[in-house]
Each structure stands twice: as structure tokens, then as C-alpha cells.
Amino acid sequence: MPTQRFWEHKALDDMNEEEWEALCDGCGRCCLLKLEDIDTDKLFYTNVVCEYHDNRHCCCTQYSDRSLLVPDCIKVTPEVARTQTWLPDSCAYRLLAEGKPLFDWHPLLSGDPDSVHDAGISIRDRVISEEFVHSDELPEHLVHWFD
């Protein structure tokens, strides 16, 4: 188990793997398929998730092999946290990269892995697998959860 409140005194680049993984709140929002407007670079989120997403637990069923199975799956790194705006504004990686505190519902603060779901932050029971959606239909699945 990571040292208590390690995120308050450690830079993202200095965290070990266990600490880094503990930052994930389990919301699953990074697993949503996104569409990008090529003219404006604006991202739009859908309610469609990767076929390896476990809806009940809001996690990847193939986490260790995800980059091999889904080549465009982006691994969140400190650099990604600092530069990529597709991470939700509630994401611990993004919050810490921006010098902001974690929300009260974050499991590291609440001590409860279900607090992210109880707070309505996660995508649990709000998504559909890409297995059931043709890529041409993605615009029909736009959501505005981040607006």
C-alpha cells in the first residue's frame, strides 16, 4: 500500500508504479471513445467504450496487454497528464499535474473504492461497448458529461 497522502509531497515523475496506479480513481472516463473535430481540434466524448472495458468495475479487463491489443490506447504518463486535455477535469493525474487537490470522493481520500461511483463520477452503467456500435454511428453517441 502506498504511503499515506504520497501525492501531496511527491511529483508525478517521482512516483513508483504502485503509487501511480493508486491515483486512478476508477471512473473509466478515459476509456470513452472520443471524436475530434479536425477543423477545431475540439474533442467530443461518446458513451461508447473499448471492448475490453469492464462496466461493473470500470476498468480494463486486459490492462497489462492493452497497448498490444488496442494500439491507439494511450497510456497515461506524467507527460500525458501535463499536456493532454482529453483527460477529464476530475482525473487525479490531471488535477495533480495542474497543482490541484483531489476531490473528496477520490478513493485515496474516502477509503472506499465505490465512492467514485456513489458520487456519480464514473461511467458505470452509462456506456455501451464498441462491439455493438459501428464506427459510422459514433456521432449518434455523443455525450456532454464533461461540459
Kindly report, residue by residue over 76-119, the tens digit of the pLDDT: 999 999 999 889 999 999 999 999 999 999 999 999 999 999 99
Count Cβ atoms within 10 A of the Cβ of residue 132 and give its class: 0-12 exposed, 13-18 middle, 19 or more buried: exposed
Above 90 in pLDDT, residue 3?
no
- What's the predicted TM-score (pTM) here? 0.89
Predicted pLDDT at 100: 97
Residue 20 resides in a domain: no
Predicted pLDDT at 29: 93
Predicted pLDDT at 41: 87
Query: How far is it, in rounded angstroms, from Cα 111 to Cα 107?
Result: 5
Residue 135 resides in a domain: yes
Query: How far is it, in rounded angstroms, from Cα 61 to Cα 10?
Result: 29
Domain that holds residue 115: 29-143
CB-facing half-sphere around the CA of 2: CA atoms within 13 A: 22
| Total domains, the chain | 1
Residue 109 resides in a domain: yes
- 15's enclosing H/E stretch is none
